[in-house]
Amino acid sequence: MKIATWNVNSLRVRLEQVLAWLDAEGPDVLALQETKVANDSFPVDDFAERGYRAVANGQRAYNGVALVARRDPRDVTSEIADFADTERRVIAASFGAVRVINLYVPNGESIDSYKYRYKLEWLAGLRAHLAREIEAHEHCIVLGDFNIAPEDRDVHDPAAWAGHVLCSEPERRALRAIMDLGLADSFRLFTRSERCYSWWDYRAGAFRRNRGLRIDLILATPALALTCTACRIDMGPRGAARPSDHAPVVAEFTIP
């Protein structure tokens, strides 16, 4: 199974890029975030023409997630159990033996914002939910835009970002608590090199200068992590005309 995550920052604007990328890469599953499109406007036909089904949890203007896959999704859910979230940030489905949970974690804005408190509450609710999902499914992939750089080596300038939203210690603790459920960061199973990022600000020539953060992650339960053969960040689309500010991240597993 080849699975990818990509925050597209508006599926409407990025549709042709996403379709071209699907044609070129042919993943089995593509998890999208920030689709910013209502479910009844989701371009299912464009994906169907390429042999992909799509399930979406979206709304106009903000947020929105979707799963695009070659196989029929089973047991589709869009909720964090026991946590009221109306912001369209989660969609999960099963493909064969693999449970896929696609997340768009709240940004948080800044550490003194009410949105930051909400981010931490959301992550605590998510952790309890994921504990049950992992209990129920041996093969779980939790992926998406986490809006947290796990460690300083995932940050182009750790000193400048220290304590700021996306890098603050409470956020990192919340992420570690989730990973301590037994989830491995696929990218770090392979890549020891520094200066690997998945998001670059649109401003200040950040991509050209590789001033980025690695905040888009593909996490896997132990049984799945054992079958992971690769994880890479595809910088191609970020360098295209009118890009998303995020790059796709792709992982491959030998499980079918």
Partner DNA sequence: ATGGCCTGCAACGCAGGA
Q: Of the residues 52, 104, 116, 197, which is catalytic?
A: 104
The yes or no reply on residue 102 touching DNA (CB under 7 A) is no
Using CA atoms, how far residue 250 sits from 26, 29, 233, 242, in Å, is 11, 10, 6, 21
The yes or no reply on residue 190 touching DNA (CB under 7 A) is no
Question: Between 9 and 39, whose beta carbon lies closer to DNA?
Answer: 9
Phi, psi of 192 (to 5 degrees): -95, -15
Question: Between 155 and 228, whose beta carbon lies closer to DNA?
Answer: 155
Q: Compute the distance between CA of residue 109 and CA of residue 120 in angstroms, rounded to an integer.
A: 12
CB 34 within 8 A of CB 58: no
The yes or no reply on residue 12 touching DNA (CB under 7 A) is yes
Q: Compute the distance between CA of residue 213 and CA of residue 147 in angstroms, rounded to an integer.
A: 9
Instruction: Pick the piece of the chain touching DNA (CB under 7 A) from 48-56, 186-194, 203-211, 247-255.
Output: 203-211
Instruction: Pick the piece of the chain touching DNA (CB under 7 A) from 91-99, 106-114, 175-183, 222-230.
Output: 106-114
- Quick one: which of 43, 49, 51, 38 has its CA closest to 15? 43
The yes or no reply on residue 203 touching DNA (CB under 7 A) is yes
Residues in contact with DNA by the rule CB under 7 A: 7, 9-10, 12-13, 34, 36, 60-62, 106-107, 109, 115, 145, 147, 165-166, 199, 201-205, 213, 215, 242, 245-246
